[in-house]
Structure 1
Amino acid sequence: MEHGSADNESASTFSFTDEDHTLANALRFSLNQDPRVAFCGYSIPHPSQPRVNIRVQTTGVPANEVLKDSCQDLLMICQHSRHTFSLAVEGFRNEQVRKAMDIEQ
C-alpha cells in the first residue's frame, strides 16, 4: 500500500502489514545508504497493530523504485549472509571430523 502525492513520486509512505522493527529498521538503514534518498524513516502506528509505515523522500527518483532497489539489496545481503554461515558451519563440521579422526589414531 502506498500513500503519496499523485504529482510528486519522489515522496511516498509505504505501509507494510504483518511486519515490525526487524524489517523496518533494516530497510531504513539500507535506504539511508542510497545517495538518491533525502530522507527515510519509519513508524509503527500502534503497538498492537502488526503494521509499519516507511516514509521515503528522494532527490527526484520515484520513491517506489528506490524502495524496490533497497529490498533487492537486503535480499542479496541475506543470501550472502546465509551462504557465508553455511560455509562456516560446513568448515567447522569438517574440522570436528578431522579432529575426531586424529584422536582415534
Structure 2
Amino acid sequence: MTEEEQKYLEIKYDKNSLNTIELTIYNESHTLANMIQEYIQNDPSCTFCAYKVSHPGDNFVKIKVTSDTSKPVRHLVIDSLRKLSTNIKDLIEEVNEY
C-alpha cells in the first residue's frame, strides 16, 4: 500500500483567510461530509462551513471551515467532531439495547 492510499485526513490552514481551515477526507462521500458540516454549523462560533465533492469519481471530500474570533477554528472542528462521535456512540448503545 502506498503512502497516498494510507492517508485518510489532510488539514491545511487557509493563508488568505483568517481562522479558516480546509479538511480533505479521503475515501468518504457526501454522507459523512454532510453530518460533519451540520455539527460544525450548529456551533455559534462558526461563520462559514461548506463541503464539496468536485467530481463523482473523486474518492475524497473537502470541508472548509471558518470561525469567528471567539474560538480557534481547530477547536471548533475538534469540538464538533467530538459531539458527532458522542451522538453516534449513544445511538449505537441504544440500538444494542434492543
Q: Give me the whole-angstrom Cα distance separating, in 1, the residues matched to 2:66 and 2:17.
A: 14
Structure 1 SS opposite 2:76: helix
Residue of structure 1 in register with 2:89 after alignment: 79
Residue of structure 2 in register with 1:39 after alignment: 48
Q: How does 1:1-105 map onto structure 2 within 5 Å? A: 1-3=10-12, 4-5=14-15, 8=18, 10-60=19-69, 61-87=71-97, 89=98
Q: Give me the whole-angstrom Cα distance separating, in 1, the residues matched to 2:74 and 2:24.
A: 12
Q: Give me the whole-angstrom Cα distance separating, in 2, the residues matched to 1:6 and 1:72.
A: 27
Q: Sequence identity, in percent?
A: 23
The runs of 5 or more residues in structure 2 that have no matched partner are 1-9
Q: Give me the whole-angstrom Cα distance separating, in 2, the residues matched to 1:79 and 1:37.
A: 24
Matched positions, count = 87
Using the size of structure 2 for normalisation, the TM-score is 0.80
In the TM superposition, structure 1's runs of 4+ consecutive aligned residues that sit over 4 Å from their partners are none
What's the RMSD between the two structures over aligned residues?
1.6
| Structure with the higher fraction of residues in helix conformation | 1
Which amino acid in the other structure matches residue 85 of structure 2? L
Larger Rg: 1
Using the size of structure 1 for normalisation, the TM-score is 0.75
